[in-house]
Amino acid sequence: MTGATGGFGRLIVFRLAGAGWDVIAGARDTGKARDLLAEAAARGLAVRTVELDVAREDSCRRAVEECAELTGGPWALVNNAGIPQAGAVADVADEQARRLLEVNLLGPARLCRLVLPVMAARGGGRIVNISSGLGRVPWPMGAWYSAGKHALSALTHCLRVEAAHLGVRVSLVEPGAFATPMLGRALADLDTVRDPANPGYTATTKLFTAVDRRVPGPEPVARTVEKCLTARRPRPRYVVGRDARLLIPLHTVLPLALSDRVKHMVTGLPHTPAPPAPPAPPAPRTDEQQAQQAQQAQQPKEPA
């Protein structure tokens, strides 16, 4: 289980451990891992942790090896770790985009690659990749996050077919917005890359703040992950949350031009270029210029 110290992560760990699963919680921060263990102990749950930074190949390899030593090999992998990267395409630097893809796409892909042989040797297993409603609905001012989740979705659907003969069942979970620290992190991104001339930043900050106040708790996501692991035939994809269940079909049926209009309205991004600034008024003439002009007017014109 990756990203076990986050909003969804903690809840999934506690739910699965409570149901009797032997959960190995991946955490990149040892302090947060200690807090997780303490909270699990307080709830009377047995949880073990491994150090895991999904953006680092060596860390992924070590964590899978450690997990195999502890359990004989993971039967299931839940790719949950993720980061946001809000901001307009024009303002997000290569380095920030690369970081997002490393955590949200390459990390999950490499963990799948590392666990597949172990699962195959055990005669089967489960992989659950946590995407997002925005992995189906491209969202302006969050383009890199949307792009990473779209790519994770494509990868998951391909892997499901590739891994079927190994007895490994692969599911994609697509949550809408839920109350976790993720939205706060996205708001912080907006401040980091903000272009003051772009009205999309002000509107998106207001939108995220409003959403953050109203979003439901993340329990439905934890319930869905458990379903992916316990169902005899897990579904290829699970859409979780009212907003995602509404937005995804709407985006599928709306013509792109109409969908663009809605996105312009919601993100505050102008639909047409701003009108050109009116020409500056002529500077008032000096006394000297006025006298010169009067003199020119009095001079007789030369015959043609």
Report which residue type is found at 283. A
Q: Examine the residue annotation and report whether 238 is marked as an active-site residue of this protein.
A: no
Taking the least distance from each CB to ligand NAP, the nearer of 181 and 300 is 181
Asked whether 267 and 204 are in contact (CB, 8 A), the reply is yes
85 binds ligand NAP (CB under 6 A): no
Taking the least distance from each CB to ligand NAP, the nearer of 28 and 198 is 28
132 binds ligand NAP (CB under 6 A): yes
Taking the least distance from each CB to ligand NAP, the nearer of 13 and 198 is 13
Total interface residues for ligand NAP by CB under 6 A: 28
Residue 235, phi-psi category: left (phi > 0), alpha (psi -120 to 50), beta (remainder): beta
Nearest to 204, CA basis, from 132, 261, 140, 138: 140
> Which residues, including other chains, have CB under 8 Å from residue 269's CB and lie 6 or more apart?
140, 141, 198, 199, 200, 203, 263
Considering Cα of 7, then 14, then 135, then 213, what sign does the dihedral take?
Answer: negative
100 binds ligand NAP (CB under 6 A): no
Give bridge partners of residue 174 from the DSSP assignment: 239
- Write each residue from 225 to 264 as x if it is in contact with ligand NAP (CB under 6 A), else as -, in one continuous string: ----------------------------------------
Stretch that binds ligand NAP, among 85-93, 117-125, 177-185, 277-285 (CB under 6 A): 177-185
Report the C-alpha gap between 246 and 149 in whole angstroms.
18
Among 1, 14, 16, 28, binds ligand NAP (CB under 6 A): 28
177 binds ligand NAP (CB under 6 A): yes
Asked whether 106 and 53 are in contact (CB, 8 A), the reply is no
31 binds ligand NAP (CB under 6 A): no
Least Å from the CB of residue 79 to ligand NAP: 8
Considering Cα of 102, then 104, then 110, then 114, what sign does the dihedral take?
Answer: positive
Instruction: Exactly one of 14, 145, 208, 238 is catalytic; name it.
Output: 145
Least Å from the CB of residue 282 to ligand NAP: 56
What 8-state DSSP symbol labels residue 297?
H
130 binds ligand NAP (CB under 6 A): yes
54 binds ligand NAP (CB under 6 A): yes
175 binds ligand NAP (CB under 6 A): yes
Q: Which residues are catalytic?
A: 145
